[in-house]
Chain A
Amino acid sequence: AQSVTQLDSQVPVFEEAPVELRCNYSSSVSVYLFWYVQYPNQGLQLLLKYLSGSTLVKGINGFEAEFNKSQTSFHLRKPSVHISDTAEYFCALRTAGGTSYGKLTFGQGTILTVHP
């Protein structure tokens, strides 16, 4: 079975500072990896995803993530955060191959709070 672990439940940071949200995964087969953001009382919105190719993936709102197969990680980074980035962030995976039927396995979420 596969799993996703987000290593920090809460990350406080000052505005304009860099941030990294950590995600590790476990799977016996190849995976696709996703980062979603959830603003208060809203649904999830895709930030970025890794399917194949370049291990550095750029997403919306200035976020990027790096896939590291040897460390089974997919950390999310932003060089300079804004107050509006305050939200909860979810890392998720989907196993490659036809038997996943689109099933996403999520991590526990990381609450990012940006302070002025």
Chain B
Amino acid sequence: DTAVSQTPKYLVTQMGNDKSIKCEQNLGHDTMYWYKQDSKKFLKIMFSYNNKELIINETVPNRFSPKSPDKAHLNLHINSLELGDSAVYFCASSQGLVEGETQYFGPGTRLLVL
């Protein structure tokens, strides 16, 4: 069983479109995250939810909107896609906010905007 899963794995779309990426964890964790890995492989946090409540919201364009319908799911919706949104998006989860806790990462969603 995959601990943290993401769909789709690959996403190719045109500029201006709206798309969603889904993330699910079956670890019973309370906290979930979205990270973006750019073309230079630099990883940066975007959002974090704890018990369905937004707790981290980095400087991300408001075209990006996370939604957590329940503790096991954290989806990412992107409006009006731009070329610069092309990246790999990773979802992660952790038990909670205990210091030093391990984050478990999904396999990533490779988004290409044409």
Which residues of A pack against B, CB within 8 Å?
32, 34, 36, 41-46, 49, 51, 88, 90, 92, 94, 96-98, 100-106, 108-109
Contact = CB atoms under 8 A, between A and B. Distances in A.
Interface residues of B, number: 28
B70 to A, nearest CB: 19
A32 B50 contact: no
Contact of A101 (B4, B44, B50, B105): B50
Contacts of A108: 40-42
Contacts of B92: 44
Contacts of B90: 43-44
23 contacts: A32-B99, A34-B102, A36-B105, A43-B4, A44-B90, A46-B103, A46-B104, A88-B41, A92-B43, A96-B100, A98-B97, A101-B55, A101-B56, A102-B33, A102-B48, A102-B55, A102-B103, A103-B48, A104-B45, A105-B45, A106-B43, A108-B40, A109-B43
Interface string B84-106: 00000010101001011111111
B31 interface: yes
Interface of B: 4, 31, 33, 35, 40-45, 48, 50, 55-56, 90, 92, 94, 97, 99-108
B102 A102 contact: no
Contacts of B108: 41-43
Contact of B107 (A43, A90, A103, A105): A43
A74 to B, nearest CB: 14
Contact of B102 (A49, A97, A106): A49
Contacts of A88: 41
B94 A102 contact: yes
A88 B50 CA distance: 29
Contacts of A100: 99
Nearest to A106: B43
A103 B42 CA distance: 15
B48 A32 contact: no
Contacts of B100: 32, 49, 51, 94, 96
A50 to B, nearest CB: 9
